[in-house]
A and B are shown apart, each in its own frame.
Chain A
């Protein structure tokens, strides 16, 4: 007898008594088959990506530019190439930044008074000042920051990571998305799509209510009734999928029912915050109205990486809330108040539990903001120069990488395109962006589209 090579094969041969057989599969089989192409020893096992959606101002957070205040009210000097702005306002004067800046820690990294709590962690943080992207609007920018290109359709980084490394917990998805409100980020679920790869690698958004943190996970049926139903359903779906092997979505749907079934026992523990101490809740700001929503997600992120979830993406300001074409002072003040403390709490907690070593924390938006004003008191999108920061997962903290010009308009030193950012994240996870390939219609597809490279300054080399 030939060895059984796939579930399909197994079920074909098992014939009658299918029900019990399928249930065995539900209990015993791994769901994701990692490409297993680690090219070097990984520094990080997990990623927590804190996505500030809408474009936070690097000029008000981590990239101080005294020239802004000196030139406030004046036009952009002729020595600067005039940028194309998203909203098209031309000749707008430079906008002063009222921020108070201080150097922090032994490293003396600059952070503004918009982030007093994160500022306490600067020695663990590498600030990359020289990021740039092609996406000038939110849709293109968010798409590119997730998929490496501003045109829709490619797999997101989280999907590549779950394809490349698989999951460490068969009872939870490898790639989880959490949003700080009930809205969708721009582009919606496409941000965590698997693109042309099998849909099993896509992200799963955890979002529900207080009583049910993951919507529709709990079954109103008893266990026996549910498993009877699922057995029949999986039979129909498998038979349907078998005759359409080119449609990976169908196989993914079957797997998603299996995963959901296993999640019913595991996920409620993962997302049940009742076992956390009051002290931990305070650390994340869950006791305060302005920080409770994002604090809860940050704590969930820690609990998920603790349980082996590979890639957790947290949207803050979900629905382009960081976008500040006018009244940036009020908007960013409010957003920073809800973001700063929870993020600092997450860093503290990861560190005290020894998880920061293996967990790469990435903070950033889809682009930054212009030194010129818009509508008098706002700033337009700046895709040509902006900052992100990283901590943990092998990152050498207490350093800055690259630089923008004296107004923070263009990245000028050690420029890092989104492709380089992705290549660097992949490298930290033990993956090489040019070796990790997925064969799509005879064409070897790579996560950074054949470009981009690891910036080894990130690990202090």
Chain B
């Protein structure tokens, strides 16, 4: 899940899906990503952590230090228990 190529490819596609929403700010994008993955909106704390992780001024599709934070965030969501397990 973390290191295999399939889930990384899906994470890239997930970020691509977010990139289509070019009119949304990072807060709205995090909301959208979490809603798509977990079927609910993030809590304030979750969103705060996510924004801290990604960086509030990082555009979808842009890279710094060789990493695309949005892809990595999507990758984390796809690895999360809340996504993997059905309640």
Contacts and interface: CB of A to CB of B under 8 A. Distances in A.
A119 interface: no
A71 interface: no
Nearest to A224: B65
A303 B24 CA distance: 54
A389 to B, nearest CB: 40
Contacts of B72: 225, 228-229
Nearest to A237: B81
A262 interface: no
Nearest to A219: B3
B80 A220 contact: no
Looking at B75, B80, B85, which has the most chain A CB atoms within 10 Å of its CB? B80
A37 interface: no
B80 A233 contact: yes
Given A216-B4, A218-B3, A232-B76, A240 B53 contact: no
A244 B2 CA distance: 23
Interface string B54-82: 00000000000101000011011101111
A232 B49 contact: yes
Q: Sort chain A's interface into a size bin.
A: 20 to 34
Consensus secondary structure, chain B interface? helix
Interface in B19-68: 46, 49-50, 53, 65, 67
Contacts of A233: 76, 79-80
B48 to A, nearest CB: 10
Given A220-B8, A229-B75, A232-B53, A250 B2 contact: no
A233 B81 CA distance: 9
A217 B3 contact: yes
A225 B76 CA distance: 12
Interface residues of B, number: 22
A80 interface: no
Contact of A250 (B65, B67, B85): B85
A240 B80 contact: yes
B30 to A, nearest CB: 12
Interface in A207-263: 216-221, 225, 228-230, 232-233, 235-237, 239-241, 244, 247, 249-250, 253, 257, 260
Given A233-B79, A240-B82, A241-B81, A225 B67 contact: yes
Nearest to B67: A225
Contact of A236 (B3, B82, B85): B82
Contacts of B80: 233, 236-237, 240
Contacts of A235: 49
A219 B79 CA distance: 14
A220 B3 contact: yes
A219 B53 contact: no
A43 B75 CA distance: 47
Nearest to B43: A239
Contacts of A244: 87
A275 B32 CA distance: 51
Nearest to A18: B49
25 contacts: A216-B3, A216-B4, A217-B3, A225-B65, A225-B67, A229-B2, A229-B72, A229-B75, A229-B76, A232-B49, A232-B50, A232-B76, A233-B76, A233-B79, A236-B80, A236-B81, A236-B82, A239-B46, A240-B80, A240-B82, A241-B81, A244-B87, A247-B85, A249-B85, A253-B84
**10 closest A-B pairs (Cβ-Cβ)?**
A216-B3, A236-B80, A240-B81, A237-B81, A233-B76, A240-B82, A216-B4, A232-B76, A232-B53, A219-B3
Interface of A: 18, 216-221, 225, 228-230, 232-233, 235-237, 239-241, 244, 247, 249-250, 253, 257, 260
Given A217-B3, A232-B76, A250-B85, 13 more contacts: A216-B3, A216-B4, A225-B65, A229-B2, A232-B50, A232-B73, A233-B79, A240-B80, A240-B81, A240-B82, A241-B81, A250-B81, A253-B84
